[in-house]
């Protein structure tokens, strides 16, 4: 057998039959690989401007079926752009400053009107579920214990928030981040109830942002036809889980690690829903 047209025989051996005819040596070579994959011999004959593949006569039907299946597969195959579906929205210039201003003003008011301001706004499981104080999952996000607490949430919140902004867009991204904080606080309250539990801090929304990013990574893998490769799908989830474990504060009894988990899971669920919804094509920001 031969893979090169220049060295191909001018006549096939006896007891062989024509399996296929092609217009180029490259096309003939590609289809010859199918025959090789069947562990069968073939003969490549180049004559009159065409490239012919011959196989043993008794194998002709089997080879013809495989070549037909190969052509059908190639006709339906489309190359996958590894960057397809990855949005890169222009990062908002104003929203990070507005968010920083809101958290800073809230912290000043919290200290100026202590302890009433924090008491009425903190996450209170019994107040939320027993006394119908519906605002608590939201207002608790804007309260903080001390300066390092508020500064840490501002820094990490702006970092994750900017990435979410570039992934989902300004309006949808920050809305999902806020919603993940509210939903995360709600889930923790449902888990703690009927026990009394108090919490404050924007970190529930911050870890919600991490969940949003993991969800988009998961959705991107799925869109790129990795659905049958479980390992590929798990990469963003494992990475997000490791980051959650590293920064979640589970070793510190003063930190509500459960709220971080609730925010992360809420962000992941909301992110999955948003990632598979059709969105306007993003303008690329460099």
In the DSSP assignment, the letter for residue 218 is H
Of 203, 220, 266, 275, the active-site residue reads 203
Tell the residue number behind the tokens 């004559």, with chain if given. Answer: 47
- Assess contact for 266 and 176: CB atoms under 8 A: no
Residues 6+ apart with CB under 8 A from 114: none
- Assess contact for 201 and 140: CB atoms under 8 A: yes
Alpha-carbon distance 148 to 152, whole Å? Answer: 6
Token digits for 149? 């607490």
Count Cα neighbours of 49 within 13 Å in the Cβ-side half-sphere. 0
How far from chain centre, in Å, is Cα 77? 23
E strands, the chain, are: 16-22, 43-47, 50-56, 123-124, 198-199
Alpha-carbon distance 233 to 217, whole Å? Answer: 9
Of 44, 260, 266, 275, the active-site residue reads 260
- Assess contact for 203 and 141: CB atoms under 8 A: no
Residue 51's beta-bridge partner residues? 22, 46
* Angle, alpha carbons 273-237-252 (nearest 5°): 110
State yes or no: is 31 an active-site residue: no
State yes or no: is 203 an active-site residue: yes
- 285 class by beta-carbon count within 10 Å (0-12 exposed, 13-18 middle, 19+ buried): exposed
Q: Which residues are catalytic?
A: 203, 260
């Amino acid at each position: 057998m031969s893979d090169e047209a220049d060295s191909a025989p001018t006549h096939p051996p006896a007891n062989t039959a024509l399996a296929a005819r092609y217009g180029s040596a490259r096309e003939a070579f590609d289809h010859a690989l199918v025959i090789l994959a069947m562990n069968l011999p073939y003969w490549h004959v180049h004559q009159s401007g065409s490239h012919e593949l011959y196989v043993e006569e008794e194998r002709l039907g089997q080879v013809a079926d495989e070549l037909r299946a190969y052509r059908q597969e190639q006709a339906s195959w489309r190359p996958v752009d590894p960057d397809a579906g990855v949005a890169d929205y222009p990062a908002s210039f104003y929203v990070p400053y507005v968010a920083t201003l809101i958290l800073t003003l809230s912290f000043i008011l919290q200290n100026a009107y202590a302890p009433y301001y924090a008491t009425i706004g903190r996450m209170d499981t019994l107040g939320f579920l027993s006394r119908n104080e519906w605002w608590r999952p939201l207002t608790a996000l804007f309260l903080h214990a001390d300066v390092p607490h508020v500064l840490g949430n501002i820094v990490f919140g702006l970092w994750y928030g900017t990435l979410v902004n570039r992934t989902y867009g300004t309006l949808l991204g920050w809305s999902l981040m806020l919603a993940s904080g509210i939903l995360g606080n709600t889930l923790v309250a449902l888990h703690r109830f009927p026990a009394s539990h108090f919490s404050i801090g924007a970190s529930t929304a911050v870890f919600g942002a991490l969940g949003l990013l993991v969800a988009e990574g998961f959705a991107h893998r799925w869109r790129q036809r990795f659905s049958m490769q479980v390992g590929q799908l798990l990469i963003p989830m494992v990475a997000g889980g490791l980051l959650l474990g590293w920064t979640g504060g589970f070793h510190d009894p003063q930190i509500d690690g459960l709220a971080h988990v609730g925010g992360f899971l809420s962000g992941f669920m909301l992110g999955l829903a948003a990632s598979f919804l059709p969105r306007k094509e993003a303008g690329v920001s460099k």
